[in-house]
């Protein structure tokens, strides 16, 4: 590769600072196009290092109620693949450094047309893709074509990924590895940190790629605990809930950016000496 990608650059810089990345998930177009654009634009300033932007799908099989509802709100507001790509383009007019990873399901990409999608995504400044329902068995569908366009394909490793399966999962992975902390859907119960740490350490023996941890992380304390041993922590449902519980668009923006700031603060200090390791709350939210 010639120039380091935005993702490589981001992880390299954070390594220097000895802290994990904060990755935020929001669904594009939630709760409406305009508010969603404002939410997106303010994320880096609030402390997000990597943006995951959900492409809404009518049948999100791997998502819990929070993100299901977010997808519905977005679709009811008329969100489309084209509008999601346009959001990235307009974001890039003001921000050329924060990596953006599009996350979703294969069908909307398939219907948009894989080549057309990748061409447009590369052009507007998308850095990576997470497509939940494309396991390595289907790499020829999107993973390999994405590489041709210089777009990373971020692979999910899960608690069910055993030693036999892992090489297949890591095979064509790029960007980073997303470790799904619990077998389940997004927004479910929180993982226990001890088991997570050993899973992440095991994973590290097999890949040079940075390892992000997501699913069930909702609070600054959880983010800090997990950020001590992972390269990135992903928070999604908790942010999406802020949108659902807000009474006005302004309140949604304020709540989301407020929670992001809290999370950002905790991941910035979580590896400092003397930082009190807080017990992760194992309550189901």
Partner 1 sequence: MNQFVNLPDANGLFGSFGGRFVAETLMPLILELQDEYAAAKNDPEFQRQLAYFQGDYVGRPSPLYFAERLTEHFGGASIYLKREELNHTGAHKINNCIGQVLLAKQMGKKRIIAETGAGMHGVATATVAARFGLPCVIYMGATDIERQQPNVFRMKLLGAEVIPVTSGTGTLKDAMNEALRDWVTNVDDTFYIIGTVAGPHPYPAMVRDFQAVIGHETRSQMLEKQSRLPDSLVACIGGGSNALGLFYPFLNDPDVKMIGVEAGGKGVKSGLHAASLNGGTPGVLHGNRTYLLQNEDGQIIDAHSISAGLDYPGIGPEHAWLHEQGRVEYVSATDDEALEAFQICCRQEGIIPALETAHALAEVAKRAPTLPRDHLMVINLSGRGDKDMMSVAHHLGDKFGVKNP
| Closest distance of CB 149 from partner 1, Å | 19
Judged by CB, which is closer to partner 1: 165, or 206? 165
Quick check: 121 binds partner 1 (CB under 8 A)?
no
Of 9, 15, 90, 111, the residue at the interface with partner 1 (CB under 8 A) is 111
Quick check: 62 binds partner 1 (CB under 8 A)?
yes
Judged by CB, which is closer to partner 1: 17, or 160? 160
Enclosing H/E stretch for 82: helix 81-92
Judged by CB, which is closer to partner 1: 107, or 248? 107
Residue pair 151/121 in contact (Cβ under 8 Å)? The answer is yes
Q: Which among 76-84, 198-206, 221-229, 272-280 is the span making contact with partner 1, rule CB under 8 A?
A: 76-84
Q: Calculate the alpha carbon distances from 244 to 70, 128, 235, 236, 262 in Å.
A: 8, 27, 15, 13, 19
Per-residue exposure over 149-184, b if at least 16 CB sit within 10 Å of its own CB, e if not? eebbbbbbbbbebeeeebeebbeebbbbbbbbbbeb
Q: Which among 3-11, 12-20, 159-167, 249-257 is the span making contact with partner 1, rule CB under 8 A?
A: 159-167
| Closest distance of CB 60 from partner 1, Å | 8
Q: Interface residues for partner 1 in 39-58 (CB under 8 A)?
A: 57-58
Judged by CB, which is closer to partner 1: 9, or 89? 89
- Residues in contact with partner 1, counted by CB under 8 A, come to a total of 42
Q: Which among 27-35, 178-186, 220-228, 240-248 is the span making contact with partner 1, rule CB under 8 A?
A: 178-186
Query: Sheet containing 21-27: which strands, arranged edge to edge?
Result: 152-153, 128-131, 100-104, 50-54, 21-27, 232-235, 211-214, 177-180, 155-157
| Closest distance of CB 94 from partner 1, Å | 27
Q: What is the residue-wise DSSP string for 9-52?
A: HHHHHHHHHT-PEEEEEEETTSS-HHHHHHHHHHHHHHT-SEEE
Of 125, 188, 216, 227, the residue at the interface with partner 1 (CB under 8 A) is 188
Residues 150, 97, 176, 285, CA torsion sign: negative
| Closest distance of CB 284 from partner 1, Å | 11
Residue pair 255/167 in contact (Cβ under 8 Å)? The answer is no
* Catalytically annotated residues: 52, 63
| Closest distance of CB 211 from partner 1, Å | 15
Residue pair 101/127 in contact (Cβ under 8 Å)? The answer is yes
Residue pair 209/237 in contact (Cβ under 8 Å)? The answer is no
> Three-state DSSP class for 273?
coil
Judged by CB, which is closer to partner 1: 89, or 138? 138
Positions in the binding site for partner 1 (CB under 8 A): 57-62, 64-65, 68, 75, 80-82, 105-112, 132-135, 137-138, 155-162, 165, 169, 180, 183-185, 188
């Amino acid at each position: 590769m010639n120039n380091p990608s935005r993702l490589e650059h981001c992880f390299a810089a954070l390594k220097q600072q000895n802290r994990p990345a904060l990755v935020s998930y929001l669904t594009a177009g939630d709760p409406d196009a305009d508010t969603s654009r404002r939410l997106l634009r303010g994320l880096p300033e609030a402390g997000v290092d990597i943006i995951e932007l959900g492409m809404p799908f009518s049948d999100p099989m791997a998502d819990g109620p929070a993100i299901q509802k977010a997808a519905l709100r977005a679709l009811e507001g008329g969100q489309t693949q084209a509008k999601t790509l346009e959001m990235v383009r307009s974001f890039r007019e003001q921000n050329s450094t924060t990596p953006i990873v599009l996350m979703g399901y294969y069908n909307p990409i398939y219907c948009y047309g894989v080549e057309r999608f990748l061409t447009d995504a590369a052009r507007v400044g998308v850095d990576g893709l997470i497509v939940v329902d494309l396991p390595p068995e289907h790499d020829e569908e999107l993973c390999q074509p994405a590489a041709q366009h210089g777009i990373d394909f971020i692979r999910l490793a899960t608690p069910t990924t055993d030693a036999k399966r892992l090489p297949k999962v890591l095979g064509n992975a790029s960007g980073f590895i997303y470790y799904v902390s619990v077998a389940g859907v997004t927004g479910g119960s929180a993982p226990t940190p001890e088991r997570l740490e050993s899973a992440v350490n095991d994973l590290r023996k097999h890949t040079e790629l940075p390892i992000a941890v997501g699913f069930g992380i909702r609070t600054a304390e959880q983010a800090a605990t997990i950020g001590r041993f992972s390269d990135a922590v992903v928070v999604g449902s908790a942010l999406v809930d802020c949108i659902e519980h807000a009474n006005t668009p302004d309140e949604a923006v304020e709540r989301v950016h407020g929670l992001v700031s809290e999370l950002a603060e905790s991941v910035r200090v979580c590896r400092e000496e003397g930082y009190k390791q807080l017990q992760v709350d194992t309550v189901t939210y």
